[in-house]
Amino acid sequence: MEGISVPLPPELKHHIAALCGPGTLVNLAIVDKSYRDEAERVLYTKIFIEFSWRRGSKSTIWDKLNDTLRQNLHKASLVRSLTVLFKHDSILAPPFVTDSFCTTLTNLHGLVNLCLHLHYRDENLQAKVQTILRYASRPFPRQWEIQDGPIFLFSQGYLRLETFHCSQYFDFSAIADAQSNSLRILGSYGGKDNLRSFQSIAQRHPELMLFSHVRENYVGTLHNILSVYPALYPDKSFPWKAIVESSHDENSAYPGSFFSRSVDWVHIYLADICDVQFLRCVVEGMVELFPNVTALDLKCLRTPERAYFQHIPPIISTIPRLRELSLNRVFLDQSSGSVLSQNHRLELVKAWSTSNWRGRCTMARGNLDNIEIYGVVRSLRTPYTFVIFHALPRNFICSYC
């Protein structure tokens, strides 16, 4: 029996290929051509590209990949996840680059996860991608005009996205409507407050999960800020895990692992902060999947009742690295709204001062002499009322808005 080679079954080859990195897969396919199919399947399943366009730039991996996916429909059909990050140092892509990418996009009939991060408003690319998503969700191939010429959907299939992450420049409402038959998660990158635009989308598509993510420099520190909107789904448990798994991490063995570790600031929009059980479930889910949160903003759609303030510290105390907490009253309309009374605002501070929260709340119990109240600031341009409390001296900040 010596010298007789036994071919490995395809299932075993698939498992071997799944454990290899991209470079190893390429070498494996070169050494043993029988691994080529499995190697291609793994290599093309998830594509992550950082795109930078400069005047006079020559052919790049972007061009080669576009050529491959346009000319080889089999390889294009293997793509399940595509992430394209447009770098800060790049200028707007010329029309022929946009057309090339959009033509490639129409070939990706197996695509379910799409992430497009634009650092500049590129109206040409936005319009074409949105048109593709609108027409490509229909079950029959068709032709339509997009500025410079026609783009065709091939008869092999059409796009049905399950997750779409995009910059704030895109029309979220149009995309949600176009992909409503399949889209489950819609994430905005770069938008700070999408509550109003997301509210109308959630009313039309109650099964669609919405969130925002932004990187922002605050007092010399770069923060990864995640905004979630349980207020739009008051009767449902909040699916933190679905948001984490929908992120498109580069070269990560576990979906969303880098995103999960990098988020350090979370905004949670709540319909009713007095719903203690719901608040506890939301916070517990966040702690489990986002272990490095140091700042938390609870944004309430209605004024909390005094009786429930005492229940907030025990719930928040489960966040191991938290150093800053804010409670904000959000007004959905543009009216001025009613300003909370001084006694009402002090009630929260009293709850914190008597809670003995892990020894980190250093306010003297029953003594508010070391609390500075910075008053109420009402902005005509934003729908918030800001009332900020600082306990001095300590490194923990509790603010109530």
- Going from N- to C-terminal start, the domains of the chain cover 7-51, 59-183
Q: What is the mean pLDDT of residues 93-120?
A: 83
Residues with Cβ < 8 Å from 19, sequence gap 6 or more? none
- Torsion-angle region of 231 (φ positive above 0: left; ψ -120 to 50: alpha; else: beta): alpha
The yes-or-no verdict on residue 216 having pLDDT over 90 is: no
Three-state secondary-structure class, residue 164: strand
The residue ranking higher by pLDDT, 279 or 247, is: 279
Q: What is the mean pLDDT of residues 111-140?
A: 79
Cα gap 131→138, rounded to integer Å: 12
Per-residue pLDDT tens over the stretch 255-308: 557 788 889 999 999 888 778 888 899 999 999 999 999 888 888 877 655 555
Cα gap 62→101, rounded to integer Å: 9
Per-residue pLDDT tens over the stretch 58-72: 556 677 788 888 888
Cβ(395)–Cβ(323) below 8 Å = yes
pLDDT of residue 305: 56
Which one of 104-108, 232-236, 263-267, 377-381 scores highest in mean pLDDT?
Answer: 263-267
Average pLDDT over the chain reads 71
pLDDT of residue 335: 40
Q: What percent of the chain has pLDDT over 70?
A: 63
Q: How confident is the model at residue 142 (pLDDT cuts 50, 70, 90)?
A: very low
Burial 332-362 (b: 16+ CB within 10 A, else e): eeeeebeebeeebbbbbbbbbbebebeeebe
List the Cα angle 253/257/261 in 5-degree steps: 150
Q: What percent of the chain has pLDDT over 90?
A: 15
Per-residue pLDDT tens over the stretch 331-379: 555 443 334 445 555 565 555 555 444 333 322 222 333 333 333 333 3
The residue ranking higher by pLDDT, 95 or 304, is: 95
Total-model pTM: 0.74
Cβ(363)–Cβ(353) below 8 Å = yes
Residues with Cβ < 8 Å from 375, sequence gap 6 or more? 387
Q: What is the mean pLDDT of residues 208-213?
A: 92
pLDDT of residue 374: 33
Cα gap 297→18, rounded to integer Å: 40
Q: Largest Cα–Cα distance of the chain, in whole Å?
A: 89
Q: How confident is the model at residue 190 (pLDDT cuts 50, 70, 90)?
A: confident
The yes-or-no verdict on residue 249 having pLDDT over 70 is: no
Nearest to 316 by CA among 345, 293, 343, 350: 293
Which one of 46-55, 149-158, 338-347 scores highest in mean pLDDT?
Answer: 46-55
